[in-house]
Structure 1
Amino acid sequence: MVSYKISERPVLTQVLSMLDKAFKNRPHSKGCILHSDQGWQYQHSSYQETLKNHAIIQSMSRKGNCLDNSVMENFFGL
């Protein structure tokens, strides 16, 4: 794992600060793929622009397909 942030609720600043921490831990991230679900924060222009600025390829689960990230969904369900 490169980076994570914990928050009591999903907010954009949580996700953006996680990205900043990840870039400090791995400054040479060009060409990496970052996978997420289709949450609003991952569709936000600030998030997408940050990935673009670091030459990271954004990957999202298909709508209604929980199998793409079922392991994490199960974890958060507990």
Structure 2
Amino acid sequence: MFRKGNCWDNTPTESSLAILKEVDYSVCQTFEELHLIIEEYIEEYNTNRYQWSLNRMTPAQYGSHWLAV
């Protein structure tokens, strides 16, 4: 999988890191606080943020839509 020059190897990691750049880490004093903030952001991202690339659905709605089909 991890071949030299294969851009598809890094796609999931690059996408996740791009999303997490929106999180404000400056308020964290411990790793537990950081973990909690990241979990809250992922929950918010998956349930409340509509994505144009997912037909204007949240990731959770889009996943449920495809499971129902």
Which range, TM-score by smaller chain? under 0.3
Q: Return the index of the structure with the highest Cα Rg.
A: 2
**More strand, by proportion:** 1
Higher helix content, 1 or 2: 2
TM normalised by structure 1 equals: 0.25
Q: Which has the higher contact order (CA 8 A, sep 6+)?
A: 1
